[in-house]
Chain A
Amino acid sequence: MIRDITLGQYYEADSVIHRLDPRVKLAFTVIYIVSLYVGEGVLAFALAASFLAVIIILSKVPVSFMLRGLKSIFILMIISVIFNLFLTQGEEIFHWWIFRITKEGIRIAVRMVIRLILLIMGTSIMTLTTTPSRLTDGLEKAFGFLKIFHVPVHAVAMMMSIALRFIPILIEEVNKIMKAQQARGADFENGGLIKKAKAMIPLLIPLFVSAFRRADDLANAMEARCYHGGDDRTKLHPLKYRKRDAIAYLVLFAYLAAIILLRIFTSELIKIVP
Protein backbone atom coordinates (compact mmCIF):
# COMPACT_ATOMS: atom_id res chain seq x y z
CA MET A 1 0.00 0.00 0.00
CA ILE A 2 2.80 2.41 0.88
CA ARG A 3 4.54 1.32 -2.30
CA ASP A 4 1.88 3.20 -4.27
CA ILE A 5 3.00 6.64 -3.12
CA THR A 6 4.91 8.31 -5.92
CA LEU A 7 6.75 11.55 -5.58
CA GLY A 8 8.37 13.51 -8.36
CA GLN A 9 6.09 11.81 -10.87
CA TYR A 10 8.66 11.33 -13.63
CA TYR A 11 7.35 9.72 -16.79
CA GLU A 12 9.99 7.79 -18.71
CA ALA A 13 9.97 8.54 -22.41
CA ASP A 14 12.32 9.60 -25.16
CA SER A 15 11.17 12.98 -26.43
CA VAL A 16 12.50 16.41 -27.34
CA ILE A 17 10.98 17.82 -24.17
CA HIS A 18 12.71 15.16 -22.06
CA ARG A 19 16.05 16.00 -23.64
CA LEU A 20 15.76 19.75 -23.11
CA ASP A 21 18.04 21.34 -20.57
CA PRO A 22 16.29 21.47 -17.19
CA ARG A 23 16.90 25.22 -17.03
CA VAL A 24 14.82 25.68 -20.17
CA LYS A 25 11.98 23.79 -18.56
CA LEU A 26 12.38 25.83 -15.40
CA ALA A 27 12.11 29.01 -17.47
CA PHE A 28 9.11 27.54 -19.28
CA THR A 29 7.36 26.88 -15.97
CA VAL A 30 7.89 30.42 -14.72
CA ILE A 31 6.97 32.04 -18.03
CA TYR A 32 3.92 29.87 -18.45
CA ILE A 33 2.57 30.80 -15.01
CA VAL A 34 3.19 34.48 -15.75
CA SER A 35 1.53 34.17 -19.15
CA LEU A 36 -1.62 32.72 -17.61
CA TYR A 37 -2.02 35.78 -15.42
CA VAL A 38 -0.95 38.31 -18.01
CA GLY A 39 -3.26 36.84 -20.62
CA GLU A 40 -6.86 38.04 -20.76
CA GLY A 41 -9.69 36.96 -22.97
CA VAL A 42 -10.57 34.00 -25.13
CA LEU A 43 -7.74 34.45 -27.58
CA ALA A 44 -5.01 34.47 -24.93
CA PHE A 45 -6.36 31.35 -23.26
CA ALA A 46 -6.73 29.62 -26.60
CA LEU A 47 -3.12 30.44 -27.36
CA ALA A 48 -1.96 29.23 -23.93
CA ALA A 49 -3.96 26.01 -24.28
CA SER A 50 -2.69 25.23 -27.77
CA PHE A 51 0.88 26.04 -26.78
CA LEU A 52 0.53 23.56 -23.93
CA ALA A 53 -1.13 21.00 -26.20
CA VAL A 54 1.81 21.12 -28.59
CA ILE A 55 4.26 20.62 -25.73
CA ILE A 56 2.26 17.71 -24.34
CA ILE A 57 2.21 16.04 -27.74
CA LEU A 58 5.95 16.62 -28.14
CA SER A 59 6.65 15.25 -24.67
CA LYS A 60 4.95 11.90 -25.44
CA VAL A 61 3.42 11.88 -21.96
CA PRO A 62 -0.05 10.31 -22.22
CA VAL A 63 -2.86 12.81 -21.64
CA SER A 64 -4.44 10.49 -19.06
CA PHE A 65 -1.26 10.89 -17.04
CA MET A 66 -1.58 14.65 -17.17
CA LEU A 67 -5.23 14.55 -16.17
CA ARG A 68 -4.39 12.45 -13.13
CA GLY A 69 -2.67 15.47 -11.63
CA LEU A 70 -5.90 17.43 -11.96
CA LYS A 71 -7.76 15.02 -9.70
CA SER A 72 -5.97 16.32 -6.64
CA ILE A 73 -7.15 19.89 -7.17
CA PHE A 74 -10.69 18.98 -8.20
CA ILE A 75 -12.20 19.89 -4.82
CA LEU A 76 -10.25 23.14 -4.66
CA MET A 77 -11.58 23.97 -8.11
CA ILE A 78 -15.20 23.24 -7.15
CA ILE A 79 -14.93 25.43 -4.06
CA SER A 80 -13.45 28.37 -5.93
CA VAL A 81 -16.07 28.04 -8.67
CA ILE A 82 -18.88 28.10 -6.11
CA PHE A 83 -17.49 31.14 -4.31
CA ASN A 84 -16.90 33.07 -7.49
CA LEU A 85 -20.21 32.09 -8.98
CA PHE A 86 -22.37 33.14 -6.08
CA LEU A 87 -20.46 35.91 -4.39
CA THR A 88 -19.54 38.14 -7.31
CA GLN A 89 -21.52 41.37 -7.53
CA GLY A 90 -22.83 42.51 -10.87
CA GLU A 91 -25.50 42.05 -13.48
CA GLU A 92 -27.94 39.45 -12.21
CA ILE A 93 -29.06 36.70 -14.57
CA PHE A 94 -30.39 34.08 -12.16
CA HIS A 95 -31.93 34.44 -8.70
CA TRP A 96 -33.38 31.81 -6.39
CA TRP A 97 -33.79 32.26 -2.61
CA ILE A 98 -30.44 33.57 -1.34
CA PHE A 99 -28.53 32.36 -4.40
CA ARG A 100 -27.82 34.76 -7.18
CA ILE A 101 -25.63 34.26 -10.19
CA THR A 102 -24.23 37.21 -12.06
CA LYS A 103 -22.72 37.60 -15.47
CA GLU A 104 -19.45 38.70 -13.91
CA GLY A 105 -19.56 35.70 -11.58
CA ILE A 106 -19.77 33.27 -14.47
CA ARG A 107 -17.00 35.04 -16.29
CA ILE A 108 -14.66 34.96 -13.30
CA ALA A 109 -15.49 31.34 -12.46
CA VAL A 110 -14.82 30.15 -16.00
CA ARG A 111 -11.59 32.09 -16.17
CA MET A 112 -10.54 30.65 -12.83
CA VAL A 113 -11.17 27.06 -13.92
CA ILE A 114 -9.30 27.48 -17.19
CA ARG A 115 -6.39 29.12 -15.42
CA LEU A 116 -6.17 26.43 -12.76
CA ILE A 117 -6.32 23.56 -15.26
CA LEU A 118 -3.66 25.10 -17.49
CA LEU A 119 -1.56 26.01 -14.47
CA ILE A 120 -1.52 22.50 -13.04
CA MET A 121 -0.91 20.82 -16.37
CA GLY A 122 1.71 23.37 -17.38
CA THR A 123 3.70 23.07 -14.19
CA SER A 124 3.52 19.28 -14.14
CA ILE A 125 5.29 19.14 -17.51
CA MET A 126 8.56 19.92 -15.81
CA THR A 127 8.37 17.16 -13.18
CA LEU A 128 6.92 14.69 -15.68
CA THR A 129 9.75 15.09 -18.16
CA THR A 130 12.75 15.75 -15.91
CA THR A 131 14.37 13.23 -13.59
CA PRO A 132 14.75 14.52 -10.03
CA SER A 133 18.53 14.53 -10.34
CA ARG A 134 18.47 16.60 -13.56
CA LEU A 135 15.98 18.89 -11.91
CA THR A 136 18.20 19.59 -8.92
CA ASP A 137 21.15 20.05 -11.29
CA GLY A 138 19.12 22.60 -13.17
CA LEU A 139 18.04 24.38 -10.01
CA GLU A 140 21.59 24.50 -8.75
CA LYS A 141 22.81 26.06 -11.97
CA ALA A 142 19.87 28.40 -12.40
CA PHE A 143 20.17 29.77 -8.87
CA GLY A 144 23.96 29.69 -8.91
CA PHE A 145 24.08 33.49 -9.01
CA LEU A 146 22.81 33.52 -5.42
CA LYS A 147 26.28 32.37 -4.35
CA ILE A 148 27.33 36.01 -4.51
CA PHE A 149 24.95 36.62 -1.62
CA HIS A 150 26.47 33.67 0.30
CA VAL A 151 23.48 31.42 -0.23
CA PRO A 152 24.76 27.81 -0.06
CA VAL A 153 23.22 26.85 -3.39
CA HIS A 154 25.22 23.68 -3.86
CA ALA A 155 24.49 22.43 -0.34
CA VAL A 156 20.77 23.03 -0.76
CA ALA A 157 20.73 21.25 -4.12
CA MET A 158 22.70 18.34 -2.66
CA MET A 159 20.29 18.07 0.25
CA MET A 160 17.37 18.09 -2.16
CA SER A 161 18.76 15.28 -4.27
CA ILE A 162 19.68 13.21 -1.22
CA ALA A 163 16.23 13.72 0.25
CA LEU A 164 14.65 12.59 -3.01
CA ARG A 165 16.95 9.57 -3.13
CA PHE A 166 16.00 8.62 0.42
CA ILE A 167 12.26 8.54 -0.16
CA PRO A 168 12.11 5.07 -1.76
CA ILE A 169 14.65 3.75 0.74
CA LEU A 170 12.60 4.92 3.68
CA ILE A 171 9.41 3.58 2.16
CA GLU A 172 11.01 0.18 1.89
CA GLU A 173 12.23 0.51 5.46
CA VAL A 174 8.71 1.34 6.67
CA ASN A 175 7.43 -1.77 4.92
CA LYS A 176 10.07 -3.92 6.56
CA ILE A 177 9.57 -2.58 10.08
CA MET A 178 5.82 -2.77 9.71
CA LYS A 179 6.04 -6.44 8.82
CA ALA A 180 8.48 -7.15 11.63
CA GLN A 181 6.18 -5.53 14.19
CA GLN A 182 3.15 -7.28 12.72
CA ALA A 183 5.00 -10.53 13.27
CA ARG A 184 5.08 -9.50 16.92
CA GLY A 185 1.33 -8.99 16.92
CA ALA A 186 1.21 -5.26 16.15
CA ASP A 187 -2.08 -4.03 14.76
CA PHE A 188 -1.88 -0.92 12.59
CA GLU A 189 -5.38 -1.01 11.20
CA ASN A 190 -7.93 -1.41 13.98
CA GLY A 191 -8.78 0.78 16.95
CA GLY A 192 -9.58 4.43 17.51
CA LEU A 193 -7.42 7.43 16.76
CA ILE A 194 -5.41 7.30 19.98
CA LYS A 195 -4.83 3.57 19.71
CA LYS A 196 -3.74 3.98 16.12
CA ALA A 197 -1.38 6.81 17.01
CA LYS A 198 0.10 4.70 19.79
CA ALA A 199 0.54 1.77 17.42
CA MET A 200 2.76 4.04 15.30
CA ILE A 201 5.43 4.33 18.01
CA PRO A 202 6.97 0.89 17.34
CA LEU A 203 7.10 1.90 13.69
CA LEU A 204 8.40 5.44 13.97
CA ILE A 205 11.20 4.92 16.50
CA PRO A 206 13.00 2.21 14.50
CA LEU A 207 12.41 4.30 11.37
CA PHE A 208 14.08 7.36 12.90
CA VAL A 209 16.92 5.29 14.28
CA SER A 210 17.55 3.76 10.89
CA ALA A 211 17.23 7.10 9.08
CA PHE A 212 19.90 8.58 11.33
CA ARG A 213 22.08 5.52 10.91
CA ARG A 214 21.78 5.73 7.14
CA ALA A 215 22.48 9.45 7.17
CA ASP A 216 25.62 8.84 9.22
CA ASP A 217 26.76 6.06 6.92
CA LEU A 218 26.15 8.20 3.87
CA ALA A 219 28.04 11.15 5.35
CA ASN A 220 30.98 8.87 6.13
CA ALA A 221 30.90 7.32 2.68
CA MET A 222 30.87 10.77 1.08
CA GLU A 223 33.76 11.99 3.18
CA ALA A 224 35.70 8.81 2.48
CA ARG A 225 35.44 9.79 -1.17
CA CYS A 226 36.71 13.29 -0.46
CA TYR A 227 33.46 15.16 -0.76
CA HIS A 228 34.04 18.70 0.44
CA GLY A 229 31.11 20.71 -0.82
CA GLY A 230 30.50 22.58 -4.01
CA ASP A 231 33.72 24.50 -4.65
CA ASP A 232 35.75 23.19 -7.59
CA ARG A 233 33.46 20.21 -7.86
CA THR A 234 33.04 18.98 -11.43
CA LYS A 235 30.08 17.07 -12.77
CA LEU A 236 29.81 13.79 -14.59
CA HIS A 237 27.12 15.24 -16.85
CA PRO A 238 27.64 19.00 -16.88
CA LEU A 239 24.67 20.98 -18.07
CA LYS A 240 25.38 22.48 -21.46
CA TYR A 241 23.06 24.44 -23.70
CA ARG A 242 22.58 22.93 -27.11
CA LYS A 243 20.94 24.15 -30.26
CA ARG A 244 17.54 22.78 -29.30
CA ASP A 245 17.70 24.69 -26.03
CA ALA A 246 18.30 27.95 -27.87
CA ILE A 247 15.37 27.22 -30.16
CA ALA A 248 13.22 26.40 -27.16
CA TYR A 249 14.11 29.73 -25.54
CA LEU A 250 13.21 31.54 -28.74
CA VAL A 251 9.83 29.80 -28.96
CA LEU A 252 9.24 30.52 -25.31
CA PHE A 253 9.91 34.25 -25.62
CA ALA A 254 7.88 34.44 -28.81
CA TYR A 255 5.00 32.91 -26.90
CA LEU A 256 5.37 35.37 -24.03
CA ALA A 257 5.52 38.28 -26.48
CA ALA A 258 2.36 37.05 -28.20
CA ILE A 259 0.54 36.86 -24.88
CA ILE A 260 1.61 40.38 -23.93
CA LEU A 261 0.62 41.74 -27.33
CA LEU A 262 -2.76 40.05 -27.04
CA ARG A 263 -3.21 41.64 -23.64
CA ILE A 264 -2.52 45.10 -25.03
CA PHE A 265 -4.87 44.47 -27.94
CA THR A 266 -7.76 43.09 -25.92
CA SER A 267 -7.60 45.89 -23.40
CA GLU A 268 -7.88 48.25 -26.37
CA LEU A 269 -10.94 46.28 -27.48
CA ILE A 270 -12.45 46.48 -24.01
CA LYS A 271 -12.07 50.24 -24.11
CA ILE A 272 -13.99 50.30 -27.39
CA VAL A 273 -16.67 47.82 -26.32
CA PRO A 274 -17.19 48.33 -22.59
Chain B
Amino acid sequence: MQIEVKDVCYTYTPEAEQPKFAVDHVSFSVEEGEFIALIGHTGSGKSTLIQFLDGLLKPTSGEVLFHGENVAAKGYDLKTLRQKVGLVFQYPEYQLFETTVLKDVCYGPKNMGLPKEEQEARAKEALSLVRFPEASYEKSPFDLSGGRKRRAAIAGILAMKPEVLILDEPTAGLDPEGREDILNVCRNLNDQGITVILVSHSMEDVAEYAKRILVMNQGKLIYDAPPEKVFSDWRKLEEIGLSAPEVTYVMEGLRKAGFDVRTDVFTVEKAKEEILRVFGK
Protein backbone atom coordinates (compact mmCIF):
# COMPACT_ATOMS: atom_id res chain seq x y z
CA MET B 1 0.00 0.00 0.00
CA GLN B 2 1.34 3.39 -0.97
CA ILE B 3 -0.52 5.71 1.36
CA GLU B 4 -2.51 4.83 4.42
CA VAL B 5 -4.53 7.33 6.38
CA LYS B 6 -5.55 5.95 9.74
CA ASP B 7 -8.22 7.57 11.86
CA VAL B 8 -6.94 11.09 11.27
CA CYS B 9 -8.39 14.15 13.00
CA TYR B 10 -7.45 17.77 12.71
CA THR B 11 -8.59 20.90 14.46
CA TYR B 12 -7.47 24.48 13.95
CA THR B 13 -8.40 25.35 17.51
CA PRO B 14 -6.87 22.64 19.70
CA GLU B 15 -7.19 24.76 22.85
CA ALA B 16 -10.98 25.11 22.59
CA GLU B 17 -13.08 23.07 24.97
CA GLN B 18 -15.09 21.50 22.21
CA PRO B 19 -12.81 21.84 19.21
CA LYS B 20 -14.37 21.88 15.79
CA PHE B 21 -12.77 19.24 13.63
CA ALA B 22 -11.79 20.21 10.11
CA VAL B 23 -11.00 16.56 9.54
CA ASP B 24 -12.91 14.11 11.68
CA HIS B 25 -11.74 10.49 12.04
CA VAL B 26 -10.88 9.86 8.42
CA SER B 27 -9.35 6.61 7.23
CA PHE B 28 -8.58 5.38 3.73
CA SER B 29 -5.72 3.91 1.78
CA VAL B 30 -4.30 4.44 -1.66
CA GLU B 31 -2.77 1.78 -3.89
CA GLU B 32 -0.09 2.51 -6.44
CA GLY B 33 -1.40 3.69 -9.81
CA GLU B 34 -4.91 4.62 -8.67
CA PHE B 35 -6.86 7.58 -9.99
CA ILE B 36 -8.86 8.92 -7.09
CA ALA B 37 -11.14 11.92 -6.88
CA LEU B 38 -11.71 13.70 -3.62
CA ILE B 39 -14.90 15.73 -3.66
CA GLY B 40 -16.72 17.81 -1.14
CA HIS B 41 -18.26 21.17 -0.52
CA THR B 42 -16.11 24.21 0.27
CA GLY B 43 -14.92 23.86 3.83
CA SER B 44 -15.50 20.12 3.97
CA GLY B 45 -11.86 19.47 4.90
CA LYS B 46 -10.50 18.32 1.53
CA SER B 47 -7.67 20.82 1.38
CA THR B 48 -6.68 20.11 4.96
CA LEU B 49 -6.70 16.40 4.33
CA ILE B 50 -4.34 16.52 1.36
CA GLN B 51 -1.81 18.56 3.30
CA PHE B 52 -1.30 15.62 5.66
CA LEU B 53 -0.25 13.45 2.76
CA ASP B 54 2.56 15.88 1.97
CA GLY B 55 3.64 16.39 5.57
CA LEU B 56 2.72 20.09 5.49
CA LEU B 57 0.27 19.67 8.34
CA LYS B 58 0.49 17.23 11.19
CA PRO B 59 -2.79 15.60 12.17
CA THR B 60 -4.02 16.34 15.70
CA SER B 61 -4.51 12.62 16.12
CA GLY B 62 -4.19 9.56 13.93
CA GLU B 63 -1.46 8.53 11.52
CA VAL B 64 -0.53 9.01 7.90
CA LEU B 65 1.72 6.29 6.52
CA PHE B 66 3.69 6.54 3.30
CA HIS B 67 5.01 3.12 2.26
CA GLY B 68 4.33 1.98 5.80
CA GLU B 69 6.21 4.79 7.56
CA ASN B 70 4.59 7.45 9.71
CA VAL B 71 5.26 10.81 8.06
CA ALA B 72 4.70 12.75 11.28
CA ALA B 73 7.40 10.78 13.10
CA LYS B 74 10.47 12.63 14.37
CA GLY B 75 13.34 12.56 11.92
CA TYR B 76 11.17 11.46 9.00
CA ASP B 77 12.68 12.77 5.78
CA LEU B 78 10.01 15.28 4.77
CA LYS B 79 12.06 16.58 1.87
CA THR B 80 12.01 13.19 0.16
CA LEU B 81 8.34 12.78 1.00
CA ARG B 82 7.50 16.09 -0.64
CA GLN B 83 9.45 15.06 -3.71
CA LYS B 84 7.64 11.72 -3.93
CA VAL B 85 4.22 13.12 -3.15
CA GLY B 86 3.78 16.09 -5.46
CA LEU B 87 1.16 18.52 -4.20
CA VAL B 88 -0.25 21.10 -6.60
CA PHE B 89 -2.12 23.74 -4.61
CA GLN B 90 -5.15 25.63 -5.78
CA TYR B 91 -4.15 28.44 -8.15
CA PRO B 92 -0.58 27.17 -8.33
CA GLU B 93 0.36 29.94 -10.76
CA TYR B 94 0.54 32.31 -7.77
CA GLN B 95 3.71 30.60 -6.62
CA LEU B 96 5.73 31.33 -9.77
CA PHE B 97 8.64 33.61 -9.01
CA GLU B 98 11.61 33.08 -11.35
CA THR B 99 12.65 35.20 -14.30
CA THR B 100 11.97 32.48 -16.86
CA VAL B 101 9.58 29.55 -17.01
CA LEU B 102 12.42 27.06 -17.34
CA LYS B 103 14.20 28.40 -14.25
CA ASP B 104 10.99 28.28 -12.27
CA VAL B 105 10.37 24.65 -13.15
CA CYS B 106 13.99 23.92 -12.16
CA TYR B 107 13.28 25.17 -8.62
CA GLY B 108 12.03 21.80 -7.36
CA PRO B 109 14.87 19.72 -8.83
CA LYS B 110 17.34 22.35 -7.58
CA ASN B 111 16.02 21.92 -4.04
CA MET B 112 16.55 18.18 -4.45
CA GLY B 113 20.25 18.94 -4.99
CA LEU B 114 20.45 17.64 -8.54
CA PRO B 115 23.23 18.78 -10.91
CA LYS B 116 22.34 21.58 -13.29
CA GLU B 117 22.08 19.49 -16.47
CA GLU B 118 19.77 17.05 -14.70
CA GLN B 119 17.65 19.93 -13.43
CA GLU B 120 17.14 21.28 -16.91
CA ALA B 121 16.54 17.88 -18.44
CA ARG B 122 13.83 17.23 -15.87
CA ALA B 123 12.32 20.66 -16.29
CA LYS B 124 12.10 20.23 -20.05
CA GLU B 125 10.61 16.79 -19.69
CA ALA B 126 8.00 18.08 -17.24
CA LEU B 127 7.14 21.02 -19.48
CA SER B 128 6.64 18.73 -22.45
CA LEU B 129 4.44 16.47 -20.31
CA VAL B 130 2.07 19.37 -19.72
CA ARG B 131 2.42 20.29 -23.42
CA PHE B 132 3.94 23.67 -22.68
CA PRO B 133 5.15 25.24 -25.96
CA GLU B 134 8.93 25.14 -26.23
CA ALA B 135 9.08 28.65 -27.70
CA SER B 136 7.95 30.09 -24.36
CA TYR B 137 10.51 28.35 -22.12
CA GLU B 138 12.56 31.52 -21.79
CA LYS B 139 9.58 33.83 -21.27
CA SER B 140 8.84 35.42 -17.92
CA PRO B 141 6.16 33.35 -16.17
CA PHE B 142 4.32 36.59 -15.40
CA ASP B 143 3.76 37.29 -19.10
CA LEU B 144 1.89 34.05 -19.80
CA SER B 145 -1.83 33.48 -20.17
CA GLY B 146 -3.71 32.00 -17.23
CA GLY B 147 -3.84 28.49 -18.65
CA ARG B 148 -0.14 28.45 -19.49
CA LYS B 149 0.81 29.78 -16.08
CA ARG B 150 -1.14 26.93 -14.56
CA ARG B 151 0.62 24.39 -16.75
CA ALA B 152 4.04 25.84 -15.95
CA ALA B 153 3.24 25.63 -12.24
CA ILE B 154 2.13 22.01 -12.53
CA ALA B 155 5.33 21.24 -14.44
CA GLY B 156 7.19 22.68 -11.44
CA ILE B 157 5.84 19.80 -9.38
CA LEU B 158 6.21 17.15 -12.09
CA ALA B 159 9.90 18.02 -12.51
CA MET B 160 10.51 16.38 -9.14
CA LYS B 161 9.18 13.10 -10.60
CA PRO B 162 6.63 12.34 -7.91
CA GLU B 163 5.11 8.89 -7.41
CA VAL B 164 1.87 10.45 -6.28
CA LEU B 165 0.39 13.59 -7.73
CA ILE B 166 -2.22 15.47 -5.76
CA LEU B 167 -3.99 18.36 -7.44
CA ASP B 168 -6.24 20.75 -5.54
CA GLU B 169 -8.92 22.11 -7.90
CA PRO B 170 -6.56 22.18 -10.88
CA THR B 171 -9.29 23.32 -13.27
CA ALA B 172 -10.65 26.21 -11.19
CA GLY B 173 -10.91 29.37 -13.25
CA LEU B 174 -9.82 27.78 -16.54
CA ASP B 175 -11.74 27.83 -19.81
CA PRO B 176 -13.12 24.50 -21.11
CA GLU B 177 -10.11 23.91 -23.31
CA GLY B 178 -7.64 24.59 -20.51
CA ARG B 179 -9.65 22.33 -18.26
CA GLU B 180 -9.62 19.51 -20.79
CA ASP B 181 -5.85 19.94 -21.23
CA ILE B 182 -5.06 19.71 -17.54
CA LEU B 183 -7.29 16.68 -17.02
CA ASN B 184 -5.74 14.92 -20.01
CA VAL B 185 -2.31 15.53 -18.55
CA CYS B 186 -3.53 13.89 -15.35
CA ARG B 187 -4.82 10.90 -17.26
CA ASN B 188 -1.58 10.52 -19.23
CA LEU B 189 0.45 10.62 -16.04
CA ASN B 190 -1.83 8.06 -14.48
CA ASP B 191 -1.36 5.82 -17.51
CA GLN B 192 2.37 6.01 -16.84
CA GLY B 193 1.80 4.57 -13.40
CA ILE B 194 1.66 7.72 -11.31
CA THR B 195 -1.00 7.74 -8.62
CA VAL B 196 -3.31 10.73 -9.08
CA ILE B 197 -5.52 12.26 -6.44
CA LEU B 198 -7.77 14.94 -7.88
CA VAL B 199 -9.54 17.33 -5.56
CA SER B 200 -12.51 18.90 -7.21
CA HIS B 201 -16.09 19.92 -6.91
CA SER B 202 -16.82 19.62 -10.57
CA MET B 203 -18.68 16.34 -10.94
CA GLU B 204 -18.05 16.34 -14.69
CA ASP B 205 -14.25 16.32 -14.14
CA VAL B 206 -14.53 13.57 -11.64
CA ALA B 207 -16.98 11.37 -13.52
CA GLU B 208 -14.88 11.18 -16.61
CA TYR B 209 -11.52 10.40 -15.08
CA ALA B 210 -11.62 8.96 -11.59
CA LYS B 211 -12.04 5.29 -10.85
CA ARG B 212 -12.71 5.81 -7.19
CA ILE B 213 -14.35 8.67 -5.38
CA LEU B 214 -13.91 9.89 -1.85
CA VAL B 215 -16.63 12.24 -0.63
CA MET B 216 -16.02 14.54 2.32
CA ASN B 217 -18.72 16.32 4.28
CA GLN B 218 -18.06 18.47 7.35
CA GLY B 219 -14.73 16.81 7.98
CA LYS B 220 -16.05 13.28 7.66
CA LEU B 221 -15.40 10.83 4.87
CA ILE B 222 -18.88 9.69 3.89
CA TYR B 223 -18.19 7.76 0.69
CA ASP B 224 -15.27 5.73 -0.55
CA ALA B 225 -16.62 3.97 -3.61
CA PRO B 226 -16.49 3.74 -7.40
CA PRO B 227 -18.27 6.55 -9.32
CA GLU B 228 -21.31 4.40 -10.28
CA LYS B 229 -22.03 3.76 -6.64
CA VAL B 230 -21.50 7.35 -5.48
CA PHE B 231 -23.50 8.98 -8.27
CA SER B 232 -26.40 6.58 -7.97
CA ASP B 233 -26.88 8.18 -4.56
CA TRP B 234 -27.32 11.62 -6.09
CA ARG B 235 -30.08 12.53 -3.68
CA LYS B 236 -27.69 12.18 -0.80
CA LEU B 237 -25.07 14.18 -2.71
CA GLU B 238 -27.54 16.99 -3.22
CA GLU B 239 -28.28 17.03 0.49
CA ILE B 240 -24.67 17.92 1.22
CA GLY B 241 -24.50 20.59 -1.46
CA LEU B 242 -22.99 18.50 -4.26
CA SER B 243 -24.63 17.02 -7.30
CA ALA B 244 -24.32 14.20 -9.77
CA PRO B 245 -23.05 14.87 -13.31
CA GLU B 246 -25.63 16.34 -15.70
CA VAL B 247 -25.78 13.11 -17.64
CA THR B 248 -27.06 11.22 -14.63
CA TYR B 249 -30.01 13.60 -14.43
CA VAL B 250 -30.72 13.15 -18.15
CA MET B 251 -30.84 9.40 -17.69
CA GLU B 252 -33.09 9.73 -14.63
CA GLY B 253 -35.42 11.88 -16.71
CA LEU B 254 -35.51 9.38 -19.54
CA ARG B 255 -36.30 6.62 -17.13
CA LYS B 256 -39.12 8.61 -15.59
CA ALA B 257 -40.49 9.19 -19.09
CA GLY B 258 -40.78 5.45 -19.46
CA PHE B 259 -37.61 4.47 -21.26
CA ASP B 260 -35.78 1.44 -19.95
CA VAL B 261 -32.31 3.01 -19.64
CA ARG B 262 -29.75 2.37 -16.95
CA THR B 263 -29.26 5.29 -14.60
CA ASP B 264 -25.79 4.45 -13.29
CA VAL B 265 -24.28 6.21 -16.29
CA PHE B 266 -22.32 9.38 -15.76
CA THR B 267 -20.22 10.16 -18.82
CA VAL B 268 -21.50 11.53 -22.11
CA GLU B 269 -19.86 8.68 -24.02
CA LYS B 270 -21.51 5.97 -21.92
CA ALA B 271 -24.84 7.76 -22.03
CA LYS B 272 -24.70 7.83 -25.82
CA GLU B 273 -24.12 4.07 -25.93
CA GLU B 274 -26.91 3.42 -23.48
CA ILE B 275 -29.42 5.60 -25.31
CA LEU B 276 -28.49 4.01 -28.64
CA ARG B 277 -28.87 0.58 -27.09
CA VAL B 278 -32.41 1.35 -25.97
CA PHE B 279 -33.53 3.33 -29.00
CA GLY B 280 -31.61 1.37 -31.59
CA LYS B 281 -33.65 -1.73 -31.10
Contacts and interface: CB of A to CB of B under 8 A. Distances in A.
A187 B111 contact: yes
B259 to A, nearest CB: 48
B187 interface: no
A183 B97 contact: no
A152 B157 CA distance: 48
Contact of B89 (A176, A186, A202, A209): A176
A201 B156 CA distance: 16
Nearest to A180: B95
Interface stretch (B79-87, B196-204, B208-216): B79-87
A144 B89 CA distance: 46
Interface of chain A, helix or strand or loop or mixed?
Answer: helix
B82 A180 contact: no
Contact of B95 (A187, A201, A206): A206
Contact of B86 (A176, A181, A183, A205): A183
B94 interface: yes
B56 interface: yes
A202 B108 CA distance: 11
What band does the interface of chain A fall in when counting residues whose beta carbon is under 8 Å from B? 10 to 19
A186 B111 contact: yes
A210 interface: yes
B145 to A, nearest CB: 15
A205 B89 CA distance: 17
B73 interface: no
Interface string A177-189: 1011111111100
A140 B150 CA distance: 43
Contacts of A205: 97
Interface in B46-77: 51, 54, 56
Nearest to A199: B111
B39 to A, nearest CB: 21
Contacts of B87: 183
Interface residues of B, number: 23
A164 to B, nearest CB: 23
A180 B108 contact: no
A182 B56 contact: yes
Contacts of B266: none
A185 B79 contact: yes
Contacts of A209: 94, 97, 142
A185 B79 CA distance: 6
Nearest to A202: B97
Nearest to A209: B142
- Residue in A177, A184, A187, A206 with the greatest tally of chain B CB atoms within 10 Å: A184
A61 B95 CA distance: 41
B142 A182 contact: no
Interface string B95-108: 11100000000011
B245 interface: no
B40 interface: no
Residue from B54, B87, B97 whose CB has the most chain A CB atoms within 10 Å: B97
Given A177-B94, A177-B95, A206-B96, A183 B157 contact: yes
Nearest to B156: A184
A209 B54 CA distance: 26
Interface of B: 51, 54, 56, 79, 82-83, 86-89, 92, 94-97, 107-108, 111-112, 142, 156-157, 160
- The 10 A-B residue pairs whose C-beta atoms are closest, nearest first, are A185-B111, A205-B97, A180-B95, A183-B87, A184-B108, A180-B89, A202-B97, A179-B56, A206-B97, A206-B95
Interface of A: 176-177, 179-187, 201-202, 205-206, 209-210
25 contacts: A176-B94, A177-B94, A179-B51, A179-B89, A180-B89, A180-B92, A180-B95, A182-B82, A183-B54, A183-B88, A183-B89, A183-B157, A184-B95, A184-B108, A185-B79, A185-B83, A185-B107, A185-B108, A185-B111, A186-B111, A202-B95, A202-B97, A206-B95, A209-B94, A210-B94
